Amino acid sequence: MKQLTILGSTGSIGVSTLEIVAAHPDRFRIIGLTAGRNIELLAAQIKQFSPRIVAVALKEDVPRLERLCSGMDVKIVGGVEGLIETATAEETQMVVAAIVGAAGLVPTAAAICAGKDIALANKEILVTAGHLFMEMISTHGVKLYPVDSEHSAIFQSLEGHRNEDISKIILTASGGPFLNTPLDQLSGVTVRDALNHPNWSMGKKITIDSATMMNKGLEVIEAHWLFNAPMEKIDINIHPQSILHSMVEYVDGCVIAQLGTPDMKAPIAYALSYPERVATGIQPLDLTTVSGLTFFKPDLEKFRCLSLAYRAIQEGESMPAVMNAANEIAVEAFLEGRIGFLQIAQIIESTMDAHQAHDLHSIEEVLHADQWGRTTAREISKRLTN
Ligand code: NAD
Ligand code: MG
């Protein structure tokens, strides 16, 4: 029986994780859950999974959740301290990091320091503080399993192979809803157009990141840290059908890939049950019914966020954290209708231009760079819209 805590249980990844848990009550037990503002869904999850401890992001939401759960045997806590207490709950063996954005940094770091294995969906953690997290993982001797579908595919394609035999890691990307939209039409696309992802149903922030392709930029940085791979060994192939989830090329010219119906329950289940596999209910892939799998290079001029991500990692240390913060602010502004689609990349680039990269020695310093990036991006966004 594996005892789990889910950070971000009300999100897209959190809900899919709980579906796997519900399907395998003999294998997994929920110890802790945390959520942002969706208190009703969290209350329903508490009733279904009986966690011992639950945290909400804001302390002011605690009384409402307590009312919804009155008579139930659950400890309800709030704020960052509450998230940390839940992330480090004693019985928990594995923490599923599924908060969106840099907000996941502190509770996930606390979980690692408390010796919990991590199933990582929250890619922004490795983008903002990859070197610190990989160091913490090794210092505390915990295991880190990727949940992101591409990274799970790479993880599976690497099994049984030597690191020094890898010649390239190739991440696939669907290309998002604007793959075939000409650059000169991108300025006019709406929030609705951008939220209409062709293959995946996900939270809003990552769906916009997929439309700008910043998601793939974040994933290249994520792969760089997870697999200790230099950036020049990580390539991107656009693969609009999202059937082949990523691949590894070896020095002998062989390429090993993982394929499957696009459904996040597959990589989530593998992270939870590794090295075993469990049923997910996903329709198995029948390649005789799938025709025309295609692969091509991304257009870096059209998807500027991709080039920005490569630039951020080249400039190093604090620059990816600042880029990530600016992206979070710009995506929020776009979702709220305050800026146009192409201004997302513009805000990120201007924020990066205004930043001088410096070393980061602690999570506090990462949070400081993150705050600086947010403040600067907000100012730039205001200037753009005035
Ligand atoms: P989501 O927006 O659906 O859910 C986010 C969760 O985090 C929710 O439970 C929310 O309440 C919680 N949360 C948000 N802000 C918070 C805060 N400040 N403090 C505490 N909790 C907070 O997002 P998602 O799509 O599930 O994505 C989660 C993470 O997984 C992201 O980093 C994303 O990039 C990554 N990811 C998602 C998918 C997917 O299919 N959805 C695939 C790969 C990777
Ligand atoms: Mg992905």
**DSSP-derived secondary structure for 175-212:** --TTTTS-HHHHTT--HHHHH--SS----HHHHHHHHH
Q: Give every CB contact of residue 28 below 8 A, 6+ residues apart in sequence.
A: 1, 2, 3, 4, 20, 21, 272
- Percentage above 70 pLDDT, the chain: 100
Q: Which atom of ligand 1 is nearest to the CA of 200?
A: 40
Sort strands 244-250 and 166-173 into parallel, antiparallel or unpaired: antiparallel
Look at residues 97, 106, 107 and name the one whose alpha carbon lies nearest to residue 144.
97
Q: Does domain 2-146 have CATH number 3.40.50.720?
A: yes
Comparing 89-98, 192-201, 266-275, 295-304, the range with the smallest average pLDDT is: 192-201
Q: Got the DSSP string for 325-370?
A: HHHHHHHHHHHTTSS-THHHHHHHHHHHHT-------SHHHHHHHH
Q: Ligand 1: which of 99, 148, 215, 265 to mutate, most ligand atoms within 8 Å of CB?
A: 99
Residue 200 confidence (pLDDT): 82
| 6 vs 94: CA distance, rounded Å | 9
Compute the distance from residue 8 Cα to the ligand 1 centre, in Å.
Answer: 6
| 231 vs 223: CA distance, rounded Å | 9
Residue 284 confidence (pLDDT): 94
pLDDT digits 0-9 by tens, 43-62: 999 999 999 999 999 999 99
| 53 DSSP β-pair partners | 32, 75
Q: Ligand 1: which of 37, 152, 202 to mutate, most ligand atoms within 8 Å of CB?
A: 202
pLDDT digits 0-9 by tens, 127-150: 999 999 999 999 999 999 999 999
pLDDT reading at 199 higher than 90: no
pLDDT digits 0-9 by tens, 337-359: 999 999 999 999 999 999 999 99
CATH fold of the domain at 185-194+300-386: Rna Polymerase Sigma Factor; Chain: A (1.10.1740)
Instruction: For ligand 1, atom 42, name the residue with the nearest CA.
Output: 148
pLDDT reading at 291 higher than 90: no
Q: What is the mean pLDDT of the chain?
A: 97
Residue 385 confidence (pLDDT): 86
Q: Which atom of ligand 1 is nearest to the CA of 124?
A: 32
210 CB within 6 A, ligand 1: no
pTM for the model stands at 0.97
pLDDT digits 0-9 by tens, 201-257: 899 999 999 999 999 999 999 999 999 999 999 999 999 999 999 999 999 999 999
What 8-state DSSP symbol labels residue 254?
-
12 CB within 6 A, ligand 1: yes
Q: Which amino acid is at 34?
A: T
DSSP H helices in the chain: 12-23, 39-49, 62-68, 79-87, 105-113, 124-139, 149-158, 183-186, 191-195, 204-212, 214-226, 265-273, 304-315, 318-335, 342-353, 363-385
Domain segments of the chain: what residues? 2-146, 185-194+300-386
| 109 vs 78: CA distance, rounded Å | 18
Look at residues 37, 31, 68 and name the one whose alpha carbon lies nearest to residue 52.
31
Are the C-beta atoms of residues 126 and 133 closer than 8 Å to each other? Answer: yes
Sort strands 117-120 and 28-35 into parallel, antiparallel or unpaired: unpaired
203 CB within 6 A, ligand 1: yes
Look at residues 381, 367, 382, 384 and name the one whose alpha carbon lies nearest to residue 330.
381
Q: For the chain, what's the residue count?
A: 386
117 CB within 6 A, ligand 1: no
pLDDT digits 0-9 by tens, 77-119: 999 999 999 999 999 999 999 999 999 999 999 999 999 999 9
Could you tell me the two tokens for 259?
């394929």
pLDDT confidence band for 197 (50 / 70 / 90): confident
| 356 Rama class: left (phi>0) / alpha (psi -120 to 50) / beta | beta
Q: Give every CB contact of residue 296 below 8 A, 6+ residues apart in sequence.
A: 237, 238
What's the Cα-to-Cα distance from 152 to each of 8, 245, 346, 369, rounded to whole Å? 20, 8, 31, 29
Residue 2 confidence (pLDDT): 98
55 CB within 6 A, ligand 1: no
Residue 16 confidence (pLDDT): 98
pLDDT reading at 32 higher than 90: yes
pLDDT reading at 125 higher than 90: yes
pLDDT reading at 386 higher than 90: no
**Cis peptide leading into residue 275 (ω within 30°):** yes
Compute the distance from residue 123 Cα to the ligand 2 centre, in Å.
Answer: 9
